[in-house]
Structure 1
């Protein structure tokens, strides 16, 4: 487990004054084995941009094996972890998030989905896990296409299956934070508020709380942890592809004073050259709210922005503002 040195703790100042937040037991639950899943997914994407999936088909042993390997990696001394290389963009990083000055009480490992690990055991665990999660993500996207009544059924999933798919995988570790002794209503940010730029994100974490999502009224609610299920986030790209019918969900992570949190996120990205625009079959005479752009253009813009920025603002049509 990583422990920041005393000077690092003193320099860390990413606090927020939290308004009261509550657990949100009404998070939509989608059973992928049930025929009504397509209607539940559409409703969840329209109302929250977020839902939980059960009966997901990812073997428990794949999940537990990767979690064990990740915990082993993050327990290494800092010089050993830094051998994974600086996150430019792939590699090991801590505290600093991205290139625009954002910080969090977090250390992480960012990997390509086809990246080989120096550790044969870690690499095997990664490959097994990512293969199963990719299959589940494609199933979710195909059920989503059914619910949207768009053809072909693989219109979204084929972007993940493409050999040039720009999907990435992230392991986030949030060590216990000694500063979380609620003082004047303040909390320490583990990962600041943001939306994900990809199509969808597939999240799994251990049984430690910390994840919060923002509802449509701007209020924040805490997501009860569930280490046996997966959570799906609508990303900015899917918001564009549905012409705003689905909204990418703003989310953040707060730290815990006594327990570490480990999360694994599979970011489902299209090929870099893929043009991101509303699906024609969803338009029905409507005007597009967004200018057409490639995933490379959007990714570059997102990479150069702050976490909390509204990245889609630069790609909206003037008349839509």
Structure 2
């Protein structure tokens, strides 16, 4: 058990550093100070979830492993053990597309918090998991969260001449609403959008 705990600690620590670097690059790419996004997540909670999707030989096309949703965090790093088994899908322009995992690579999802803080410059990705008829799929997701009592709203460095597009909300309240309601596509995030 000690070995497993040590492995998980090292893995999550290294992945956290990767997430920080990605946040810096994203901020720089949007014309903001690189440290602006990293500062929000640095030293805060990182969640981990291991997902197991067993095969479903009968009617696999009618079974979902996880219904359509966005992630309530800032950034998600997803690593798939058996990369040759497709199961993750993302929604774009009303259609679902399979995500092809690459060996040894992370799939990176923008979460709701990052969409709100960037005033919509980065979009939280709606995604779901489908079941394969003959193969199991295992993935590990790491979620980067801001401080629990933080008020999440558009950051000034992402506003530059734009209108505010999202209402601010206490992150703890947002999480409560997210986890007490059913997974429902982008609906949790859409409720915070302001009329334009």
CA-to-aligned-CA distance 1:210-265 (integer Å, 9 cap, x gap): 111111x1111111122311111011111111111221111111111221111010
Tell me which of 139, 144, 149 is aligned to 2:26.
Answer: 144
Find out whether 1:214 has 2:91 as its counterpart. Answer: yes
Aligned residue pair count: 193
Once the two structures are superposed, the pairs formed by residues 1-321 of structure 1 within 5 Å of their partners are: 119-151=1-33, 153-162=34-43, 165-180=44-59, 186-206=61-81, 207=83, 208-215=85-92, 217-309=93-185, 310-317=187-194, 319-320=195-196
Shift of 1:203: 0.6
Dislocated runs of 4+, deviation >6 Å = none
* DSSP 3-state at the match of 2:90: strand
SS in 2 for 1:272: coil
TM-score by length of 2: 0.92
User: Which one has the largest radius of gyration?
Assistant: 1
1:53 aligned partner = none
Higher RCO (C-alpha 8 Å, min separation 6): 2
Spell out, residue by residue over 1:12-54, the C-alpha distance to the aligned partner (whole angstroms, 9 max, x if none): xxxxxxxxxxxxxxxxxxxxxxxxxxxxxxxxxxxxxxxxxxx
User: Tell me, which stretches of 5 or more residues in structure 2 are unaligned?
Assistant: none
Gaps of 5+ in 1: 1-118
**TM superposition score normalised by structure 1:** 0.57
Counterpart contact for 1:211–1:223, Cα < 8 Å = yes
